[in-house]
Amino acid sequence: MNNGYQGDGYQGGGYQGGGYQGGGYQGGYGDNYNNGYMNDDYDPDDDDDDDDDDGRSGINPKLEKVMTIGSIIIAIVIGCVFLVLIGNALGLFNFGAGKKKTTESTKITETSTVKTTESESASQGNGTGSTTQSNSSSDQAEVTVPDLRGLTADQAKEKLNALGLGASLAGEQASSTYAQGQIVSQNPAANSSVSKNTTVTYTISKGPEESDNQQQSVTVPDVSGLTEDEAKAELADKNLSISVSRENDDLVAKDLVIRTTPEAGASASSGDTVIVVISDGPEEEDITVPNVVGSTFTDAKDTLTALGLTVKSQEQYSDRYSAGTVMDQDVTSGVGVTKGTVITLTI
């Protein structure tokens, strides 16, 4: 009470003294009022505008303080980032040095490990510590590929490994030449030259095809002297196919079987083809007709028949030729004809 109201608080310096009555309101404001309002420089509307501005721009003091501190902090952060970027660009800060050294150390360790492994490999390869270069030269040496046909897979691997070659199964295939489980073919081929460590692939036999097992052995029947149709029927009974060919033959009549290939009595497999040869009869040759005019009919007939010609006769009266003598022939002498040609004689 003493210090607050009667003392310094109100009567002393707060209100009556210097606060309101002294120089704050009655004193200072009186001069401003008398000079401003009573004169022409004062406009009452200005007070309204000032009041409006004060109402709109009034900010909470606490919020204003927070905003001020926040602005200062943001400015400091931006400044630090900017300084770090410039320093890193100029090489003032070496943030990657530790990582780089670690990476280089790792590379050195890996290199040492590789060198040690190569040395151990060379030592184990020949027991004398030979270098990697000597091993490469050994790998480049050429060897001759052995013939694997007829061998089993195990035999082939043993033989190839002894030469420094690898073995790989390519597959299986049917074969009537090699038994099941034996090697039928290989790649590279036998006796070819390859470098060591080359892999040789091979194919294993799985035995003959089922159709091969079903084939039966049959004996070719004798069909000579039969007609073509008769021969086909008899061969079909033996499950044999037929192929026909023809040729001339002086002894076998036309359209009869001369022989077969394979010949009669030979062994064949069911389904095999047998060639059947059919006769076209004797080969036809031109026969020169002789002159029999003036000969007796009996002599003329014997001559022409001996040449394979057929003779017919007819009779006619003649003052020149005696009875029973050939006076004319319908085919002039010297003309070439085929066997069996009919010659008509006039008696």
Domain 217-279 adopts which CATH fold? Trypsin Inhibitor V; Chain A (3.30.10)
Backbone torsions φ then ψ of 122, nearest 5 degrees:
-65, -40
Q: State residue 93's pLDDT score.
A: 60
Q: State residue 313's pLDDT score.
A: 93
Task: Answer whether 0.85 is exceeded by the pTM.
Answer: no
Which segments in the chain show pLDDT lower than 70? 1-59, 91-140, 210-215
CATH label, 287-346, candidates 3.40.50.620, 3.30.10.20, 3.40.50.720, 3.30.1330.90: 3.30.10.20
Establish whether domains 217-279 and 287-346 are of one fold: yes
Q: State residue 275's pLDDT score.
A: 92
Domain 141-211 adopts which CATH fold? Trypsin Inhibitor V; Chain A (3.30.10)
Exposed e or buried b per residue across 202-231, where buried means at least 16 C-beta atoms within 10 angstroms of its C-beta: bbbbebbeeeeeeeeebebbebbebebeeb
Count of Cβ atoms closer than 10 Å to residue 304 Cβ: 22
Q: State residue 141's pLDDT score.
A: 84
Q: State residue 336's pLDDT score.
A: 86
Q: State residue 285's pLDDT score.
A: 72
Sketch the domain layout of the chain as residue ranges: 2-49, 141-211, 217-279, 287-346
Q: Which of 259, 254, 197 is nearest to 224 (CA)?
A: 259
| Long-range Cβ contact pairs of 307-311 (< 8 A, separation 24 or more) | 307/339, 308/339, 308/340, 309/337, 309/339, 309/340, 309/341, 309/342, 309/343, 310/340, 310/341, 310/342, 310/343, 311/342, 311/343, 311/344, 311/345
Residue 260 contacts residue 220 (beta carbons within 8 Å): yes
